[in-house]
Structure 1
Amino acid sequence: MDQFTVPELYQGYDLIAFGGYVAGRLAAGVASKVVRVDFRGPVPVETPVVRAELDGGGVELRHADGRVLAVATPADGLADTAPPAPPTLTEATRAARALRDGAPADPGTDCFGCGLGRTARTGLRMHCGTVEGRRDIVACDWTPDAVHAGPDGTMAPEIVWGALDCPGNWAGRLLGSQRVGAMTASLTATLPRPVRAGVPHVVYAWVREESGRKHAYGMAVADADGELCAAGEALWIDPREK
């Protein structure tokens, strides 16, 4: 077992750790090309949590009081064997610019992944907007800042996992029926190629299926030539109606 603390920088909702970052921290301890992370409860920022190995190659995250907060396990693969074609870098850049220039539904959110008040040094700015001429994806451009990279100039797994988290939210909000306040219930990903700082990438997401409060999405990160660097699937759950 080992203990770590999620800095407040990596928050999603207020004082709650960003799901993609947490998932990536856990996935790094699972010896599998594809890893699934299931969230059992909110992970607090600036609070020590305990990571422990499980039988079968999984990893569990626990609160100091013993509550299980998240579980990472090996996965067989992703369900989408033929994801939508990626947009061009120009299309993704235009989609992101249009979203920022418009009236996003959550302008006050300080999320590390998609907070509008974040800079490239303090967040990922995953502002995925609709792509002109297409109704199957949302997208944005992403040039990772070196501040988030390791000594070799590549993004740590938790940063790439983070880049896969918020795009699903935008797909649900702009293309599907997801409501404000939804939370990531599970995140599955594979990272076949490194993501390098200072290099333009395309991030895009699509709606796989929706049923009631449950919304399933596919997400991907590709380089400017369309080569896949990361792919994932997420399940988001709407808040219960009052």
Structure 2
Amino acid sequence: MTDFETITVPARLSGYPGVAFGGYVAGVLAVRAAAKTVRVDFRRPVPTDAPVRLAPTADGGAQLMDGELLLAAASPAEPAVEAPEPPSWAQASAAAEAYRAAPPDGMVDCFGCGPHRTPDTGLRLHCGRVSGGPLVAAAWTPGPALGGADGLLPPELVWGALDCPGNAAGRLLDDRRAGAVTAALTARLLRPVPVGAGLVSYAWMLGSEGRKYRVGTALATAEGDLCAIGEALWVEPRPRPTP
């Protein structure tokens, strides 16, 4: 009897080309962890369209392996940070429209924030800066194709909604360059999230040092009810050497 399962992340769930969307990977691991709050640490990129091994760990977590290489690991954690009051639907809509009017350089076809995704093929987390406050936000509505048979957004995609806003916070609130990656994501899911209903994803800065920065992220309903909260560590790519 084996104590692991083999999974394959399809190419449509990519973040960067050929690399599985980090928020989704974190969610896959988190739903198999025996804790309400889970921290996922990313060690190496998880490939798409390639089988990898998912196994439980002794501490009640889970890990993703490619042969003998550790790709990511989930473990029980302390509750994530407290979230500030979410921006209104109107504020988040205006921020998303500002993003779409002038998308940043270096954007890719990311499942979470790709500008060419539809409500049925991506999360469309088009986070722009919220006017009058230290937040980035996106108003979005998941399409029916993203939901399960129960009409709810799967937990893996709720985790996904806490990922890309952190990248936007770094770029728009801390002048970070494109290409940063999620090094760790800690989250707690608070309530079921229906598809076809308006949602607001938002993020704020927690700290910044060298190439690393920390952000808080949250997901709320259009009416302001909190659905999930997270904290993430992001790492900016090393500067390219000057020719």
* Partner residue, 1:21: 24
SS state of the match for residue 235, structure 1? Answer: strand
After superposition, the Cα gap between the structure-2 partners of 1:53 and 1:237, relative to the gap in structure 1 and judged at 3 Å, is same
Residue 109 of structure 2 aligns to which amino acid in structure 1?
Answer: D
SS at match of 2:163: helix
1:51 matched to 2:54: yes
Deviations 1:189-241 (A, max 9, x none): 11111110111111110011000011100000001221110111110001122
Inter-partner Cα distance in structure 2 for 1:58 and 1:188: 13
CA shift for structure 1 position 132: 1.6
Taking structure 2 as the reference length, what is the TM-score of the superposition? 0.95
What SS is found at the alignment partner of 1:202?
strand
Question: TM-score, with normalisation over the residues of structure 1?
Answer: 0.95
Does 2:135 correspond to 1:132? no
Unaligned runs of 5+ in 2: none
Q: Any idea what the Cα deviations from partners look like across 1:141-169, whole Å, max 9, x if unmatched? A: 12111111111111111111111100000
Aligned length: 237
Paired position in structure 1 for 2:211? 213
Alignment map for 1:1-242 (pairs within 5 Å): 1-63=4-66, 65-78=67-80, 80-81=81-82, 83-107=83-107, 109-134=108-133, 136-242=134-240
* Partners of 2:106 and 2:179 within 8 A in 1: no
User: What are the Cα deviations for residues 28-84 of structure 1, in whole angstroms up to 9, with x where unaligned?
Assistant: 100111000000100000000000111010101001x22000000000111x23x32
Unmatched 5+ residue regions in structure 1? Answer: none
The AA in structure 1 aligned to 2:87 is P
Amino acid at match of 2:175: S
The alpha carbon displacement at 1:105 in A equals 2.4
CA apart distance, 1:175: 0.5
